[in-house]
Amino acid sequence: MRFPLALTMKIASHIVKHKVRKTPKFAMVLQLEPLHTCNLTCTGCGRIREYSTNLKDMVPLEKCLAVAMECEAPMVSICGGEPLIYPKIEELIAGLLDQGRVLYICTNGVFMRKKMRDYLAAIYTAETEPTLKKLVEEKLISEKEADAIRNANDAARKKVVIRPTKWMYWNVHVDGLEFTHDLIVEREGVFKECVEAIKMAKICGYQVATNTTVYKETDVQELEDMFKYLSSLEVDGHTISPGYEYDAAKKDMVSRLGKQPEDFFLTRKMTRQKFAKIEQWGKMFTIFGTPVYQEFLAGKRELTCTAWAIPTYNVKGWKAPCYLMTDGHYPGYQEMLTKVEWEKYGVVNGIARDPRCENCMVHCGYDPSGALGTNYQRGDNWKNFAYNFGAKPKPFPASPELVKTAFNGVTIGKGHLAEAKAVLNSPRAAMNGAQATFRQEAATNQHEAHVGSHCGTGDTSERDELLAKIKDVKK
């Protein structure tokens, strides 16, 4: 089977239950954002720019558990911000699993290995030794870390930890191969860390998924290479979605300057071009998402947005109308369902009901439409059934060539900062202070990436200042 039977049955029975009851709108996946603090400042991340990233602004654990009960979604995607920074993340995961939810921990991967070392320390017995040995051999933990696991104190052994279970996936953010991914997350070394975390997770028995956003600049061949590489690591599934790039300023430029939208953002037409091979990828790799949604992405059919099926809860409440756009926050899920004028959103028969929806084809708006039978066409149920119950694609064969293709950035000295470093090493750069700024930035980044003790605020001013100085030097 492509996906675990227990998971498929849980989701199918949830849909059937609501269809029988004729519930007009219900939740399929809760996007739970317990905090918006993050250790990275990815280009295009709306969260760290829209919301406060202060660690004080968090949804309390009890409230997180209560909102999951309230909306009754069978699946919960814990996102943020970086959810592994949430101080009660272990308790939150344990509580949601107790409620019988299927969990996706959407993470940038940087703190995953630390959380898995905590798990190994809590469960350590002589039987854990072969796992530790393998992790050391593969350089996924150091000898010192292995010893710390062996000699864990009582507190570490009693700690609530994130354990492998068939009901949970690590869902690692990977937007391309090494060069591209590090560029998008604006830090060199993050792709490598993600790969090491994925390898460690598989050795420890966790399920691992990845999630990828496709941008205007995304190269389709690179996406396919990325899936091949991730598949060779035996990743259990992949979510892929077009980026949402509505921006008032861009829209304004279109109307005032007469520029084409294609110059600025991913239009529906461009999304369909980028996703032309999605159905083929669905056969080669374990792509999450219904075949109906895949047909929609490939431009073969229309769907109506069902954003109410993937509601978002964060520090301000239930976010409406969707994960991407904010027209308001509501204290209750049912209240949001009742008060939001859903017919004002989405694209119907090619006409955008809200101009901001015009180019949106994101999975959190349209993937549930495929599962829920919106715009049902004859044969859809069979397609969904055949996809879910069909054979799982075999892992792509691992090879040195594939590894070479994947590590095309900082590993081979071609990281996105290489050019900046070269410029900054020039005598002219020394004169205007750019080197000092760069060194300060690099030292901070190194500390964050390897020690993980500092949470970024989302403030990009230092980086912007650095880039301005580099530009000056280049003139």
Nearer Cβ to ligand SF4 (314/435): 314
Q: Which candidate, 316, 112, 79, places its Cα nearest to that of 207?
A: 112
Where in 365-424 is the site for ligand SF4 (CB under 6 A)? 365
Selected from 14, 33, 41, 227, the binder of ligand SF4 by CB under 6 A is 41
Tokens coding 96:
């949601």
Q: Shortest distance, CB of residue 146 to ligand SF4, whole angstroms?
A: 28
Give the integer Cα–Cα distance in Å for 173 and 105.
10
Q: Which stretch binds ligand SF4 (CB under 6 A): 12-20, 38-46, 138-146, 156-164?
A: 38-46
CB 361 within 8 A of CB 303: no
Q: Is 190 in the site for ligand SF4 (CB under 6 A)?
A: no
Q: CA nearest 27: which of 345, 337, 293, 374?
A: 337
Q: Pick the closer one to ligand SF4 by CB: 234 or 245.
A: 245
Segment contacting ligand SF4 by CB under 6 A, of 7-15, 18-26, 75-83, 89-97: 75-83
Asked if 112 touches ligand SF4 (CB under 6 A), the answer is no
- Out of 321, 368, 370, 409, name the contact with ligand SF4 by CB under 6 A: 321
Site string (275-314) toward ligand SF4, x via CB under 6 A = ------------------------------x-x-------
* Residue 362 lies near ligand SF4 (rule: CB under 6 A): yes
208 makes contact with ligand SF4 (CB under 6 A): no
Nearest distance, CB of residue 256 and ligand SF4, angstroms: 23
- Minimal distance, residue 430 CB to ligand SF4, in Å: 32
What one-character DSSP code corresponds to residue 343?
G
Cβ 349 to ligand SF4 shortest distance, Å: 14
Q: What is the largest CA-CA distance in the chain?
A: 73
Q: With residue 446 as reference, give the H or E element that holds it.
A: helix 434-451
125-157 residues labelled b (16+ CB within 10 A) or e (exposed): eeebeebbeebeeeebbeeebbebbeebeeebe
- For ligand SF4, which is the closer residue by CB, 146 or 321? 321
Buried b (16+ CB within 10 A) or exposed e, 22-40: eeebbbbbbbbbbbbbbbb
Binders of ligand SF4: how many residues, by CB under 6 A? 27
The answer to whether residue 85 forms part of the interface with ligand SF4 (CB under 6 A) is no
Which tokens hold the place of 40?
């990275």
Q: What is the DSSP string of 427-440?
A: HHHHHTTHHHHHHH
| CB of residue 48 to ligand SF4, shortest distance in Å | 5
Interatomic CA distance for residues 184 and 44, integer angstroms: 8
CB of 4 to ligand SF4, least distance (A): 26
Q: Among residues 345, 387, 396, 407, which is the contact residue for ligand SF4, using CB under 6 A? A: 345
Q: How far is the CB of 178 from ligand SF4 (least distance, A)?
A: 16
Q: Which of residues 48-67 bind ligand SF4 (CB under 6 A)?
A: 48
By CB neighbour count within 10 A (0-12 exposed, 13-18 middle, 19+ buried), where does 394 fall?
exposed
Residue 100: CB partners within 8 Å, gap ≥ 6?
Answer: 10, 74, 167
| Phi, psi for 282 (deg, rounded to 5) | -60, -30
Kindly indicate which of the ranges 44-52, 231-239, 398-406, 445-453 contains the residues binding ligand SF4, using the contact rule CB under 6 A: 44-52
- Spatial separation of the C-alpha atoms in residues 475 and 473, rounded to whole Å: 6
> What's the closest the beta carbon of residue 371 comes to ligand SF4, in angstroms?
15
**Residue 47 within binding range of ligand SF4, rule CB under 6 A:** yes
Contact between 80 and ligand SF4 by CB under 6 A: the answer reads yes
Q: In what order do the strands lie in the sheet with 29-32?
A: 237-242, 207-214, 168-173, 102-107, 75-78, 29-32, 312-314, 317-321, 326-330
Q: For ligand SF4, which residue has the nearest CB?
A: 365
Count of residues in the chain: 475
Cβ pair 354, 324 in contact under 8 A: no
Residue selected from 322, 336, 340, 406 as contacting ligand SF4 according to rule CB under 6 A: 322
Q: CB 265 → ligand SF4: shortest distance, Å?
A: 13
Applying CB under 6 A, which residues contact ligand SF4?
A: 38, 40-42, 45, 47-48, 80-82, 108, 173, 185, 305, 307, 321-322, 324-325, 345-346, 356-357, 360, 362, 364-365
